[in-house]
Chain A
Amino acid sequence: MQGTHCGLYDVDWKALTTKNVERARACLGKKKIDALLVGTMENWRYLTGLPTNFTFAYAVANYAVLGTDEPLPRVLALDYIKDAMERLAPWYRPIVPLPFDGTREARQPMGAGLWPGLIADLCRSMGLDRGTIALDPGIPFPVKDALVAQLPGARFVNGGEILREARLVKNEQELTAIRNACQLAELGMRSGLDCIRVGAIEREVAGAIERTLRENGAENSLSVPFVLSGDHALLGYAYPSDKPFRSGELAIVDVGCSFGGYYSDFCRTVYLGKPDATVEKAYAAVLRAIEKGIDSCRPGRTNIDVFNAMNETLREATTGQYDLGWFGGHACGLGINEAPMIGSEDGVDSCQLEPGMFLCIEPGIQLAGKGLLCVEEGVVVTDGAPEVITRSSRDLSPLS
């Protein structure tokens, strides 16, 4: 929620939350559900707009209840940050403190101690003790089991579909946060690409990216920046290592970060040395594929159409040598892989695209002996032409 020296856009957090709540409430209404209880970092963020420290120790450490009678949700938060939260967002006053001392919640693995009782008290005070309450699907089972015992008259249902439907389409304020996350990731990308040269190591480049993200006010990196080269990139899901970049290798740099909880995620590939005809041809095919994919991100088309457009283009351009398998991207927002996924008909569920969706399109292929070749862009679906909101240069040579 801060930026030092890049031109980030202002986000109106209260407006963002108000819009999110309206959307969630509409989804609740359709299913005749009285309230929604959230507890995971991302769903809590969706309903409250409030930041938390990014650490898995707090993956489920703050709660919020959205009822039918009040415009905004009621918030429960860790006791030692409650006052600061109230100062930041006075519209949530009073926040119910969740105590850390004398309870099983202070430690990992977390247990259910005092907190379910406090959540139940709040639900009771909101008249929900005989209501239907949808639960964030990520709420740990000991908490849910304790709530069931505390509120025997209430009916609990899985809120996964409601939250998914609510989060599917982003409002203008959410998109502004995502645009900022993209700008920050571009800065990270630039500082990473600037370090790539023969003999540099993957971790050095990843470190430069993380430093840039932090300095400029990204809340956290999406994950470890994926800086992987040569065969190391083909292992799948590796951490950047002390492997040096070598001549004749491809290096991928896949970067994302959070601004206000909303993620960006995009990727570039560079080649160490002068690319030969094989590499150039493959790269041109991937670029052609992503352009087709981007152009397909329009209302009325489906996620599978986007995949097919990319996959067919890639196969044509390489006379069938390469294809995308089943995967071509994913939606992104408060989560990293959100619905809709971009993929093949037998790989993903079909979904009509709508204005306000934020999609990360990432055709990637493996070049034996050279590495992974992937380009990824963040695309906003609009009423008209798709808007690409990641803009880093796609030059295959790192230092140009």
Chain B
Amino acid sequence: MQVTGGVAPSIDWKKMTELNVERTKHLMAEAGIDGLLVATIDNWRYLTGLPLYYCIQWFVSNFAVLTQKMAFPLLMPLEGPVRQMKTLAPWFTDVVPLPRAGASDALSPAIPGPWIDTISGVLRNLHLASGTIALDPGLPFYLKDGLARTLPHAAFIPGGDLLRKARLIKNEEEIKAIRAACAIDEIAMDRGLRAVKEGKTELEIAGIVDYVFRTYGAENSAANPFVGAGDHPFLGYLTPSNKVIRNGELVRIDIGCAYGGYYSDFSRSVAVGRPDREMERVYEIVKEGLCRASAAVRPGVMNHDLYIVCDQTMREMSDGRYGIDWWFLGHGLGVGIHEDPMIGREGSVEEFAIEEGMYFCLEPCITLPGKGMIGLEDDMVVTSDGVEILTRTEFCLTMA
């Protein structure tokens, strides 16, 4: 939650959480849900705004409950970070630290310990013992079974639909964090692309990306930075690797980072050495597909139509030779890296009418066997009458 003067306008974290809470409470009321329990790192972030360490152990480790009566959710964090949380966000008045659980819940693999009683005690105190409680769909089954046992009169329902709907539309404070993530990502992309050179390895480029993310204030990388040279990315899935980048190859960099918990995710491709004519032609095709689909984004357009615009543009430009060769064109982003709205083929992804405040990426990609991938991707946010592209790195096949 650091504000980096250079890339982030001042974000009002309290207001962000207030707006997220308000939206969630409104959706809860509509669905007749009395309480919501979140547990995973992304839903926790959405509902509390508070950072957690990005590590395997903390993907499901801190809990929060929201009811209609609350201005802010009640927190049930691990003991360790309580002090830091109270310092960062003094507006959380209800904090019930999870008991230390000497060797049970807090360790990996978890075995049932005192957390079930702590959580059910909190739910009972909030008068939810016979209420309808929506649960974070990432909640481990043994905790849900334990809650169902200790609160036999409560109705526990999956909270996935509720949380997906809540997270779908971003408020102005969330968009500020998103802009900052995109700005940091652009710097990493620029450094990474310019470092591509024959003889370097994918890992060396990825290391530069990691360095920029950290030094410019990103919390974590969205995944292992994807740096794929030549045929390597579609032969194996272990990207980046120590594969040496060779002259005549294409290198695709697809990277994302979190700022204040909100993710960016975009990609560019470059040629190593002088690109051949096929590379140049295909680059233009992918770029045009992306740009025309992006230009078609506005409130009211359907997600499936964006797929069609991109696919048809690419086919028209290549006499039918190249199109989108699978079901997928893009995905929503936010506190997660694969959210609604998914952008893809009808039948493969749920239909969405695009609305103001949605935030997603489009990522057409064509692979040239023996040469590599040309993948171009931008992040965009839907405005009242169109779209704003948030990732601005130039399209340049010869940037390396």
Measured between C-beta atoms, what is the minimum distance from B200 to chain A in Å?
Answer: 10
Whether A203 lies near B160 (C-beta < 8 A) is no
Whether A101 lies near B344 (C-beta < 8 A) is yes
Whether A109 lies near B224 (C-beta < 8 A) is no
With contacts A4-B242, A142-B160, A337-B107 taken as known, whether A106 is within 8 angstroms of B342 at the C-beta atoms is yes
Whether B210 lies near A207 (C-beta < 8 A) is yes
Check: B124 CB closer than 8 A to any chain A CB: no
Whether A242 lies near B2 (C-beta < 8 A) is yes
Out of A102, A109, A339, name the residue touching B138 (CB < 8 Å). Answer: A109
Whether A203 lies near B141 (C-beta < 8 A) is no
Whether A237 lies near B53 (C-beta < 8 A) is yes
With contacts A54-B223, A214-B206 taken as known, whether A335 is within 8 angstroms of B340 at the C-beta atoms is no
* Residue among A102, A107, A110 with the highest chain B CB neighbour number at 10 A: A107
With contacts A53-B223, A141-B139, A242-B2 taken as known, whether A335 is within 8 angstroms of B242 at the C-beta atoms is no
Whether B142 lies near A137 (C-beta < 8 A) is yes
Measured between C-beta atoms, what is the minimum distance from A59 to chain B in Å?
Answer: 5
Residues of chain B contacted by A4 (CB below 8 angstroms): 201, 203, 242
Out of A3, A109, A160, A340, name the residue touching B42 (CB < 8 Å). Answer: A109
**Segment 83-113 of B: residues with Cβ below 8 Å from A:** 83-84, 87, 100, 102-104, 106-112
Whether B219 lies near A239 (C-beta < 8 A) is yes
Residues of chain A contacted by B236 (CB below 8 angstroms): 84, 87-88
Measured between C-beta atoms, what is the minimum distance from A305 to chain B in Å?
Answer: 16
Interface string of A140-170 (1 = CB under 8 A from B): 1111110000000000001111011001000
- Interface size range on B against A: 35 or more
Residues of chain A contacted by B348 (CB below 8 angstroms): 101-102
- Residue on B with the closest CB to A138? B140
Whether A109 lies near B349 (C-beta < 8 A) is no
Interface string of A229-252 (1 = CB under 8 A from B): 000000111111110000000000
Q: How far is it, in angstroms, between the C-alpha of A43 and the C-alpha of B111 when the chains are bound? A: 14
Whether B100 lies near A109 (C-beta < 8 A) is no
Whether B222 lies near A108 (C-beta < 8 A) is no
Whether A214 lies near B112 (C-beta < 8 A) is no
- Interface size range on A against B: 35 or more
Residues of chain A contacted by B214 (CB below 8 angstroms): 203, 206-207, 210, 224, 240
Whether B336 lies near A84 (C-beta < 8 A) is no
Whether A108 lies near B242 (C-beta < 8 A) is no
Whether A337 lies near B210 (C-beta < 8 A) is no
Residues of chain A contacted by B83 (CB below 8 angstroms): 235-236
Check: B13 CB closer than 8 A to any chain A CB: no
Q: How far is it, in angstroms, between the C-alpha of A363 and the C-alpha of B188 when the chains are bound? A: 37
Out of B110, B241, B336, name the residue touching A57 (CB < 8 Å). Answer: B336
Whether A222 lies near B237 (C-beta < 8 A) is no
Out of B51, B204, B208, name the residue touching A239 (CB < 8 Å). Answer: B51
With contacts A51-B238, A207-B215, A348-B102 taken as known, whether A336 is within 8 angstroms of B57 at the C-beta atoms is yes
Q: How far is it, in angstroms, between the C-alpha of A259 and the C-alpha of B344 when the chains are bound? A: 35
Whether A42 lies near B56 (C-beta < 8 A) is yes
Measured between C-beta atoms, what is the minimum distance from B338 to chain A in Å?
Answer: 5
Whether B84 lies near A235 (C-beta < 8 A) is yes
Whether B103 lies near A340 (C-beta < 8 A) is yes
Interface string of B334-361 (1 = CB under 8 A from A): 0011111010110111000000000000
Check: A104 CB closer than 8 A to any chain B CB: yes
Query: Considering the complex of A and B, which 10 residue pairs feature the smallest CB-CB distances, nearest first?
Result: A335-B108, A108-B336, A207-B214, A223-B55, A55-B223, A349-B103, A144-B141, A141-B144, A237-B81, A101-B348
- Name 16 A/B residue pairs within 8 A (Cβ), A-sorted: A42-B108, A56-B40, A109-B167, A112-B137, A138-B109, A145-B141, A158-B142, A160-B109, A160-B111, A215-B207, A223-B55, A235-B84, A239-B2, A239-B53, A241-B2, A242-B217
With A107-B164, A137-B112 already in contact, 7 other A-B pairs whose C-beta atoms are closer than 8 Å: A51-B238, A101-B326, A140-B137, A141-B141, A164-B109, A237-B84, A348-B103
B-side residues, CB < 8 A to A, are 1-2, 4, 40-43, 51, 53-60, 80-84, 87, 100, 102-104, 106-112, 135-145, 158-161, 163-164, 167, 201, 203-204, 206-208, 210-215, 217, 219-220, 222-225, 235-238, 240-242, 326-328, 331-332, 336-340, 342, 344-345, 347-349
